[in-house]
Structure 1
Amino acid sequence: LALPEVMLGIVPGWGGMKRLPQRVGPALALDLMLSGKAVDAKKAKRIGLADDCVPPRVMENAARMRVQSGATNAALPWMARLMNGPLRPVVAAKARKQVAERARREHYPAPYAIIDIWANFGGDALAVPAGHPSSLEAIVASPTTKNLLRVYQLQERLKSFGKAEDFMPRHVHVVGAGVMGGDIAAVCALRGLTVTLQDQSVERIAPAIARAAKLFERRFKGDRRQVRFALDRLIPDPQAHGAARADVIIEAIFEDLDAKRALFADLERRARPDAVLATNTSSLRLEDIATALQNPARLVGIHFFNPVAMMPLVEVVQGVASTAGALHRAAAFVRHIDKLPLPVKSAPGFLVNAVLGPYMLEALRCVEEGIAAETVDAALVSFGMPIGPVELVDTVGLDIALAAGTTLAATGEQAPPRLLALVTAGKLGKKTGQGYYRWVEGKVQRTKAPHSQAPRTSDTVAEQELAARILAPMLGAARRCVGEGVVADADLADAGVIFGTGFAPWTGGPLQYQQHMGNPPIGRGPAFADRALASVQ
């Protein structure tokens, strides 16, 4: 059960804003309406949204008995009644503050409108005057609504890639129990598949099983029975016995071409003729790996993103020899585990890494010029990115970012000196506790940018210029990927960058945003750095 309208940039206009706070109290109601998240039947009963939770076979009788019993809804606790009454302005003010920490009103007007309509119009959307910024007319006319509807349509298009093929995988064999391989295996087991996880020894597989157990406990909310079932589906397999039975085989070992070739030569001998053979490589060409196979047409890419459990996108990579059937089955597998398949051609970085690389590099250049990492990240978070680019580099790992950046060497790009120095010193970001930021217990420790509480116009302008500068290489890379046929069209490029990087959904995607904004001049070099630095003095 949900009120998901906010996800499309609109408000629950048919009574939900009025009735839900009366039913479950304003705190829970605002949380559900502002997030758009759903609750299952058990939670719905627990919070008072549903009268009962019963097995489907007795649902009709239970509903009839409920109606005929004349039972009334339980009264809200006295604090919830106060929050619905005289404390309503206080609740609304706190809710606005919390929303403002996550999204700007000009980017996402709908959550602010939900709060305004509840606080000032009793939750009745039809009572809001037409000229009011929270009116249905204003919300529907907002560019954000148009773009969020577009994002929904793009998501549905990605889902469609896995629907046509009549392929129901039951067994997945994953080779490589590192962070990526282990988490791929865990997600597959979570979705009901039998998974055999291969590595050199059981001891190497054990940490992946431990991480999986924590994931299962979170997702099943402490339901020990379901956690046990999921763990039973995740089978350590150092001898690779599962490869002979698997419907899908995914390689997720370290990025070494000779090692991958040797592994696939062995897997091809073990695998069923109809099994999907896939690599999770992010930097090697499929064509180079496929030379080890007797039938190179079997190899496809199934490229996940870290953290696997959270990232919705998976790139399905077509090599020069990959068959349509193998690609369709790969996309069907991706949908089976509730991910979004994006068809891409084999090319350096595919789509997502190809656009992320220049974006992160430009952010690090800004830091080299003397702009604080906090200022850089704040500009992009303010734009609508889920995480700043410098913090993203720290999270990915400075060594990994540097290694991935070698693909840029052919275009003459040089790694920033500070990045090289940090890697040389062993300061690799989050995993070592120090990178561009200091990390304590997995949490970034940043110094707040020294803005005044009331931002000056010059602050806002400099922040927007900084964001525009750092985004420009990303937009250019997205255009280039479309032009080179890495993705079929601009819509798929927008979908991939939104769901693969978290690019601000209010824009409709990088190419949609660029089409709307045109090509404004982008400040570069020391003069730009001077303006950015001056804005925070």
Structure 2
Amino acid sequence: MHVDATSYQNWQVEVDAAGLAWVTLDKVGESANSLSSAVMSELSLILDRFDRSAPRGLIFRSGKSAGFIAGADIQEFAQLDTPEKGVELVRRGWQLFNRLAGVTYPTLALVRGHCLGGGLELALACRYLLAVDEPATRMGLPEVLLGIVPGWGGMLRLPQRIGPQAALDLMLTGKTVDARRARQLGLADDCVPLRVMDSAAAVLVLADQPRRQPPLLQRLLNGPLRRLAARAARKQVAKRARVEHYPAPYAIIDIWEKHQGDALAAPELIDRIVRSPTARNLVRVFFMQERLKGFGKGSAWQAQRVHVVGAGVMGGDIAAWCALRGLTVTLQDQGIERIAPALQRAYAAYRQRIKDPRELRNAMDRLIPDPAGHGARSADVVIEAIFENLDAKRALLCQLDTVIRPDAILATNTSSLRIEDLHGVLGNPARLVGIHFFNPVARMPLVEVVAAEGADPEMLRRATAFVKQIDRLPLPVASAPGFLVNAVLGPYMLEAMRAVDEGLAPETVDEAMLAFGMPMGPIELVDMVGLDVAMAAGRSLAGGDAEPPKCLRERFAAGHLGKKSGKGFYDYRKGKPAKGAAGSVPAGLAARLVKPLLDRTQQLVSDGVVADAELADAGVIFGTGFAPFTGGPLNYLRSQNA
């Protein structure tokens, strides 16, 4: 029974008969909670009230089905234009959460769904954290992914709670943890089912027991051995990110090591980070990602069954991903012996992701070998994912057209052929759409949804909704050779191989682009894509040249297909390329290599293959890994010409 209730614009405060205050955040006009200045100001008023009349305990919870708190208001962050505003933003959260951490009564954050950034910093300022055991519950401090630091107490309290090694790993990578892992780490005091969350929260906060401490070694690493932990963290970060490209992770280590996590002690560092081109561009990338997530939203249509034809690396991995996301998937190829390797790969991937044996078994049960192709008749989505051969694809699509449901999506995963060249064999050509995944499927978030001229709008809507349903980012593109992503990669990889033909070592060419900020060099990328795929793309990859580069032709003729065969431009040992020393990189090499990619991206926007420059930047970042700190190829080009 609630004996007292008070409403604010964004918060609801109820004090029950036991004297417990239940404080619910339900940000007005938004589907998800974020910590805007208005929300923070009201929280300060709530704490004022309890300074005057303290409750027996205080429990924070969310009024949103979307989760606890997504973090700070990114729109407000994007508007910071002076050093003073950046420091004031940090000061507001740091002081308010310190005040919350210092109250005399016990406090608890009841976390269901996402609890990220400033949301987790609020939860860390509470004495207890209770996590609800659901797949949607995820906790983390992903500020580094926006090029900024967790300045509202996260750099102080997360290392105190779980030890600096685990805390720095989370803060420096932006990774999140689920409810069970949070309990194992000591981030959450307990992890409970949804049905008992309120009663468990009340019991925990009223018991007011001391929290368990991290192990002694972690406490030492957070104290006298702090420098040791910082040095190890810097070495790990240096393997992934260069300080000139991504200053935020290095700033996190410095602020934790030298200032106990107090960002206000280094205001010049905060200003440099908050208003850096990297932060500005990564925030731009965040909003571009949100735009991609918006495609496919609002559709009532949902797929339940997927049929994939082709159990090679791409087809098998598409099928495995769909099954992992909860769909029933039938996988067809010319015999069970061709399907078995895909099932083995799926099992190995699932074992790394799924710790519960029953969930692992259920995922494998949803991935059904189907050599005869019976699943095509009942599927909501049918995906052709065989090798890149026009005649073979047309024959398969013609066969599928006769057996699948009239309302099913018929899709091709072609990477280089035009949809118009494939759909002429169909009774209803308008139904065929492209749903183009990238390798490796489980790691590449982008999926191109390809529309041929005259495509059925409803099929395109359903295809986009399907991509959204399986937790990928849909990018609408027009049908043209290579669409967006492969069309820009082709000239880029071609120029890299020309440099090899001119006598540069593959390692030197790759190092030039790694120094530019690419996650992988273009020659290693050719190896990963496959030299056979590069050859099959032929004129499309060669940009109209009569022949692919000599270095590609010779290796392909020798049977070296790249990573999948263990040998390409590099030899592969346990899946890793054995590279020699890069040597000195010639001046201007990176600019030379990236220019064809930039030019082609501009051309594709002009040709209408992708709707606008922002979507082109998003597609190239999420489809190729193009250096995110640049904000995308066209944004980078504008910055160079400014």
Equivalent-residue separation in structure 1 for 2:388 and 2:145 (angstroms): 38
Q: How many residues align?
A: 504
Cα deviations across residues 184-238 of structure 1 (Å, max 9, x unaligned)?
11111000001111122222222211111112111113x2111111111111222
Equivalent-residue separation in structure 2 for 1:405 and 1:475 (angstroms): 21
Aligned mate of 2:278, from 127, 130, 144: 144
Answering whether residue 241 of structure 2 is matched by residue 103 of structure 1, we say yes
- What is the TM-score when the length of structure 1 is the normalising length? 0.91
The aligned residue for residue 50 of structure 1 is 188
Unaligned runs of 5+ in 2: 1-138
Equivalent-residue separation in structure 2 for 1:185 and 1:347 (angstroms): 25
Cα deviations across residues 135-156 of structure 1 (Å, max 9, x unaligned)?
2x22111111111011111111
Give 1:408 deviation, angstroms: 4.4
Contact 1:357 1:405 in 2 (8 A): no
Unaligned runs of 5+ in 1: 452-458, 520-537
The aligned residue for residue 604 of structure 2 is 481
The sequence identity of aligned pairs, in percent, is 62
The aligned residue for residue 183 of structure 1 is 317
Contact 1:359 1:470 in 2 (8 A): yes
Give 1:326 deviation, angstroms: 0.8
Indicate the structure with greater helix content: 1
Contact 2:490 2:543 in 1 (8 A): no
Give 1:449 deviation, angstroms: 2.6
Contact 2:491 2:543 in 1 (8 A): no
Aligned mate of 2:360, from 202, 220, 227: 227
Equivalent-residue separation in structure 1 for 2:560 and 2:370 (angstroms): 34
Contact 2:491 2:542 in 1 (8 A): no
Equivalent-residue separation in structure 2 for 1:150 and 1:294 (angstroms): 44
Q: Secondary structure at the match of 1:184?
A: helix
Amino acid at match of 2:521: G
Amino acid at match of 2:445: P
Equivalent-residue separation in structure 2 for 1:349 and 1:386 (angstroms): 21
Contact 2:278 2:629 in 1 (8 A): yes
> Structure 1 pair 65/164, CA: closer, same or farther in 2 (3 Å)?
closer
Equivalent-residue separation in structure 2 for 1:438 and 1:260 (angstroms): 32
Give 1:450 deviation, angstroms: 4.1
Q: Secondary structure at the match of 1:439?
A: strand
Equivalent-residue separation in structure 2 for 1:249 and 1:75 (angstroms): 53
Give 1:65 deviation, angstroms: 1.5
Larger radius of gyration: 2
Aligned mate of 2:347, from 183, 199, 213: 213
Amino acid at match of 1:478: T
Amino acid at match of 2:203: M
Equivalent-residue separation in structure 1 for 2:464 and 2:523 (angstroms): 32
The aligned residue for residue 430 of structure 1 is 563
Answering whether residue 636 of structure 2 is matched by residue 513 of structure 1, we say yes
Equivalent positions of 1:321-470 (< 5 A) are: 321-408=454-541, 411-412=544-545, 414-450=547-583, 462=586, 465-470=588-593
> Structure 1 pair 396/235, CA: closer, same or farther in 2 (3 Å)?
same
Equivalent-residue separation in structure 2 for 1:362 and 1:318 (angstroms): 29
> Structure 1 pair 414/265, CA: closer, same or farther in 2 (3 Å)?
closer
> Structure 1 pair 54/409, CA: closer, same or farther in 2 (3 Å)?
closer
Aligned mate of 1:32, from 157, 167, 170: 170
Equivalent positions of 1:488-503 (< 5 A) are: 488-503=611-626
Contact 2:144 2:248 in 1 (8 A): yes
Answering whether residue 336 of structure 2 is matched by residue 202 of structure 1, we say yes
> Structure 1 pair 385/410, CA: closer, same or farther in 2 (3 Å)?
closer
Equivalent-residue separation in structure 2 for 1:259 and 1:400 (angstroms): 16
- What is the TM-score when the length of structure 2 is the normalising length? 0.77
Q: CA RMSD in A?
A: 1.5
Amino acid at match of 1:479: Q
Answering whether residue 198 of structure 2 is matched by residue 60 of structure 1, we say yes
The aligned residue for residue 215 of structure 2 is 77
Give 1:243 deviation, angstroms: 1.4
Give 1:431 deviation, angstroms: 2.5
Indicate the structure with greater strand content: 2
Contact 1:287 1:321 in 2 (8 A): no
Equivalent-residue separation in structure 2 for 1:33 and 1:431 (angstroms): 34
Equivalent-residue separation in structure 2 for 1:351 and 1:63 (angstroms): 50
Higher-RCO chain (CA-CA 8 Å, sequence separation at least 6):
1
